[in-house]
Amino acid sequence: MPKIKESRLSTRSRKERTSIPYARGFHLPTRKRCLEALAGKHEQELDKEYDSTGDFFQSIPKPSSIDDWLAQYNETGQTYQQFLDECPWLSKRKLKYVRHTFNSTGTTLQEKYPEGKIYLLPLGEFDGETTPRFSDLAEYARLFYDVPVEILPPVKLVVTGDKVVWEDTLDAKELTRNPRASRSSTRTTHYQLLSRFDSKTGHYQLQINSVLYKLRQIIPNDSICVMALTMSELYDESTDLFVAGMAAGNQRVGAFSFSRYNPTLNFSYEFWYKVYREDVKMSTTEQRRVMLQRSCKLLVHEIAHLLGVDHCIWYSCCMNGSGHLKEDFEQSMHLCPVDLRKLQTLCGFNMVERYEGLMRFYRAHGLSEEEEWVRNRLQFITKS
Ligand SMILES: [Zn+2]
Ligand SMILES: [Zn+2]
């Protein structure tokens, strides 16, 4: 699994052209190819859960901007069979660097790695009025994958002058060796992150690789992956306006920023440090709802990458790539049948229970469109 960088450029206000071509070489898959991607050539009939008839799954929209994902990349797509062949978590051999129990005869992720957990790490402050709650993010990931999800002790980002220091009071590795370590020994460690700072605006961004480097050092022994989530901004190369984040598959770490998900903010496409608050009439509750929706979608998309799922070209799906924020915001929260089947095989969840859990979550957080989609889908797959 290579490094997956999620750029999410700011949308440029270019004149819309009538027709934006796909990236050279890309062909939108036909319905026949989509069905083959789902089933393989020799499978005759699939469960109702993977039925793509009706209007549940649209094809991915044609590019409407030259910054759109499919206008930039010639993606070939990953079929269900390719996933089975390639996914390191389904291999009969233990994954390199993993230090928890491995059972080669198991068929799902949890049978193979019974101690495995997904860890979420709060990197910096998460107490804003519209900031998503960490417990909600963890619950969503748990419902989406039916894999244990735990929240690591938060890491403080101490900003002094133009420097940003990672300050944690607990070594996560130590925590897995000795769960009581948090009470008996509080050891504070400091690590200066690479960052850039604009003195006029006071705006800073963290260099993504320096965050990933630090994460690799604290990855708990029983982790499937560690996802650092932050409201601070990230960049990779000096020419980047910002990056949404990066996942390093073979190292099981990822770091992602929700900073640009606030619906009342707008961003310069020339200068990384220019952020504008727009005069949008939107209640705090509504802002938080939008933030949660966008953040949940990013989180499960990135975890899927770390679990071996590539970008999806088969349908409109939460595994579609996105070239910029607007494209990201418009994408579906749901998995298409091809990616649902990959993750069901890997995680072994019960399809009906998963949808019921997600429906409750969407209802509790006012995500009514998503709730309705899941309710209809549940009705469709359970009716005989
Ligand atoms: Zn992606
Ligand atoms: Zn998909």
- Whole-angstrom distance, CA of residue 94 vs CA of residue 109: 11
Q: pLDDT tens, 139-151?
A: 999 999 999 999 9
Nearest in space to 215 (alpha carbons), one of 339, 298, 285, 119: 119
For residue 275, report the distance from its CA to the centre of ligand 2, in Å. 33
Q: Does residue 116 lie in a domain region? A: yes
Q: What is the CATH number of the domain that holds 139?
A: 3.40.390.10
Q: pLDDT tens, 110-169?
A: 999 999 999 999 999 998 999 999 999 999 999 999 999 999 999 999 999 899 999 988
Ligand closest to 303 (CA) is: 1
For residue 334, report the distance from its CA to the centre of ligand 2, in Å. 8
The confidence band for 175, taking pLDDT boundaries of 50, 70 and 90, is low
Count of the separate structural domains present in the chain: 1
Contacts of 91 (CB under 8 A, 6+ apart): none
For residue 29, report the distance from its CA to the centre of ligand 2, in Å. 12
For residue 232, report the distance from its CA to the centre of ligand 2, in Å. 29
Q: Does residue 237 lie in a domain region? A: yes
Q: Does residue 185 lie in a domain region? A: yes
Q: Does residue 45 lie in a domain region? A: no
For residue 126, report the distance from its CA to the centre of ligand 2, in Å. 30
For residue 243, report the distance from its CA to the centre of ligand 1, in Å. 12
C-alpha pair distances (Å), 107 with each of 82, 147, 221? 17, 14, 22
The confidence band for 320, taking pLDDT boundaries of 50, 70 and 90, is very high
- CA 259 vs. chain centroid, Å, equals 14
Q: Does residue 218 lie in a domain region? A: yes
- Whole-angstrom distance, CA of residue 70 vs CA of residue 73: 5
Host domain of residue 190: 88-307
C-alpha angle 355-77-146 in degrees, rounded to nearest 5: 25
Ligand closest to 29 (CA) is: 2
For residue 246, report the distance from its CA to the centre of ligand 2, in Å. 20
Per-residue pLDDT, averaged over 80-106, amounts to: 91
For residue 338, report the distance from its CA to the centre of ligand 2, in Å. 6
Q: Does residue 281 lie in a domain region? A: yes
Ligand closest to 78 (CA) is: 2
Q: Does residue 296 lie in a domain region? A: yes
Q: What is the pTM of this model?
A: 0.93
DSSP letter, residue 324: B
For residue 316, report the distance from its CA to the centre of ligand 1, in Å. 14
Ligand closest to 311 (CA) is: 1
Q: Does residue 297 lie in a domain region? A: yes
The confidence band for 269, taking pLDDT boundaries of 50, 70 and 90, is confident
Ligand closest to 332 (CA) is: 2
Ligand closest to 340 (CA) is: 2
For residue 70, report the distance from its CA to the centre of ligand 2, in Å. 14
